[in-house]
Chains A and B, each alone.
Chain A
């Protein structure tokens, strides 16, 4: 099937959910780096839950794009909700794939980390409120929590790589990234 073929009126749009867990939002920005192809994508796909929309919880969808690793209990809940609803789940970018830079805290004791930031420096107490999700002792890649169908590396993956991946997927091809799109920086 050709991607650029004019979609027929009856064609159902692919429903895409996106979320940023313990990431910097850079992968979402890189997703917007598909530039004017965003408008083309809007012809083929529609968004479910995403930081770009006002849908707060995801419903049944075709593709879930996950940026960021898992650093707290809320990340676990959001990730599981996406997995339960999505046919295909993709780990987008270094943090989702292997924890990324935030995982540099993994060699530190998280309690000590909190004490240093909030007590030693700010002279206060460590935040503790029911509204704050429980912090995990380590930052985990998302495949330690749910099954992941695809991994797209990069910090962030380029807009071109994301476009190639998505259009392969939407048109039924096996998604494939080769150099120079497949890179890890």
Chain B
């Protein structure tokens, strides 16, 4: 079914490149091939870097890994730091973490959810939503937002700052910290640090709630547009705790289909290879993740805020759960599938993370100093999984007797979302671009759909040469004109 990945006569077509894709994290470009009638014959999203982390990490000592692998990504370093350290807890033979250590790690992670989501929404994506998809490109950035909506820009900047400060107080540094070590944490939270964070958290919760309401209000201005921009049906996956509640730090894997029906639930993530399959395709240099029981064509899924918020039974904090219900009511019993709902769900998660931070700061355990677990028997292999801001993140390592890493497999959030991003861009290209004279504003529609996923192309480039993309172009009668497809999958 992938034979139309490439235009039949590319030499006769005109090439347009969006290079680089901007206001996303990392390096990517989109190329389009068009004929004289502006019909599009090929659209591809390329990741143009190769870094080879999985290869050069081999031979390195395991205790170094939580600090090195976070250099995959400066936007969500805490995700890689914690996913790696969760695996290394097991490798090094540590048992259950003391409550303080786990709570400090959670605090760090929730700070990261706040800062990463805030930087994505306010600094990167909000210019499209607040200024317009095809507004003046020289002003379509955070500075333009600050000029037209100074209060919103200020709140966004300060929300991100708060999240970064939570990370600094728990990890030692705002970016590429060192707080988590195999077996626990190496830094306690001082009373002064706790008080400083506690002082501002109520304001952060208020601003988070206001931002959710702002996106809800934007939706009300053009509900049809927001419901259907980049819309497509898909399964969804995320971690849930034993009650079925959303959990960013730990839990079992749950996947639901496009109607919300469970595909699998409470799966021990160390067995991810039993439920997820990574298929290599002839046209692809990458593997392609899908749910094993459903096969490659039906089994693809999306991860990240919109998937998590809808796959769980509830969000275990009151304000965020109420907002979740309001958003999901728009689906009339079915999950909502429009690409721009990602922003709404993302801000609900900021609110949830802020509520969780408040609860942790009010918990006396957070000031404890018992930071290391008891050491037991070492293991040679382990999997660490976390809900990174962009979705489920898998780290899988094998370590030899000499403490050296001998195998490393990373399935980053963005590669989990590759097929979903293909579908989103396909939907946008079909609706907005085909047969029209391509303008910068129209091209930005493609970028808007990519941005909604908050792809971390930095993460995705860790071993990947290019990211796959598939776009179907149909004529006015719905006949397939062309399908462009590009390989994707976890770079492993």
Q: Which residues of A contact B (CB under 8 A)?
A: 20, 22-30, 32-33, 35-36, 38-39, 42, 46-47, 50-56, 71-72, 74, 100-102, 104-105, 108, 110, 113-114, 116-118, 121-127, 129, 131-133, 135, 155-156, 158-159, 185
Contact = CB atoms under 8 A, between A and B. Distances in A.
A5 B301 CA distance: 54
Q: Which of B138, B143, B282, B466 has the most CB of A within 10 A?
A: B143
A39 B153 contact: yes
A131 B175 contact: no
Contact of A52 (B124, B280, B458): B124
B46 interface: yes
B195 to A, nearest CB: 20
A24 B74 contact: yes
B326 interface: no
A25 B284 contact: no
Interface of B: 18-20, 22-27, 29, 31, 44, 46, 48-52, 54-56, 68, 71-75, 77, 119, 123-124, 137-138, 140-143, 146-147, 150, 153-154, 157-158, 160-161, 164, 173-176, 280-282, 284-287, 444, 447, 458, 463, 465-466, 487, 489, 491-492
Nearest to A123: B280
Given A54-B141, A101-B68, A126-B285, A30 B175 contact: yes
Contacts of B124: 52
Contacts, number: 181
A54 B153 CA distance: 18
B56 A131 contact: no
Which 9 pairs of residues, A with B, have the shortest CB-CB distance?
A26-B74, A127-B465, A123-B280, A24-B74, A35-B161, A53-B141, A101-B71, A25-B74, A104-B56
Nearest to A133: B48
B49 A22 contact: yes
B465 A132 contact: yes
B157 A156 contact: no
A71 B285 contact: no
A50 B119 CA distance: 15
B23 A122 contact: no
B74 A29 contact: yes
Given A105-B55, A122-B285, A131-B29, A52 B141 contact: yes
B141 A36 contact: no
A54 B23 contact: yes
14 contacts: A23-B458, A24-B74, A26-B77, A39-B146, A47-B143, A52-B124, A55-B137, A105-B55, A108-B56, A122-B285, A123-B280, A124-B281, A131-B44, A131-B46
Contacts of A117: 50, 52, 54-55, 463, 491-492
Contacts of B174: 30, 33, 158-159
A100 B68 CA distance: 11
A72 B280 contact: no
Given A29-B119, A122-B287, A132-B46, A52 B142 contact: yes
A26 B492 contact: no
B72 A24 contact: yes
A33 B162 CA distance: 10
A47 B140 CA distance: 11
A130 B487 CA distance: 15
Given A23-B458, A124-B281, 6 more contacts: A33-B174, A53-B138, A54-B137, A56-B20, A124-B284, A156-B176
Nearest to A51: B22
A93 to B, nearest CB: 9
A112 to B, nearest CB: 9
Q: Which of A55, A71, A117, A131 has the most CB of B within 10 A?
A: A117
B23 A36 contact: no
Contact of A35 (B158, B447, B458, B465): B158
A36 B123 CA distance: 12
B285 A125 contact: yes
A121 B55 CA distance: 11
B44 A114 contact: no
Contacts of B72: 24
A119 to B, nearest CB: 9
A122 B280 contact: yes
B285 A155 contact: no
Contacts of A129: 46, 466
B492 A33 contact: no
A74 B52 contact: no
A155 to B, nearest CB: 6
B55 A33 contact: no
Contact of B26 (A25, A33, A74, A125): A25
Contacts of B492: 117, 121-122
A51 B281 CA distance: 32
Q: Which of A54, A123, A124 has the most CB of B within 10 A?
A: A54
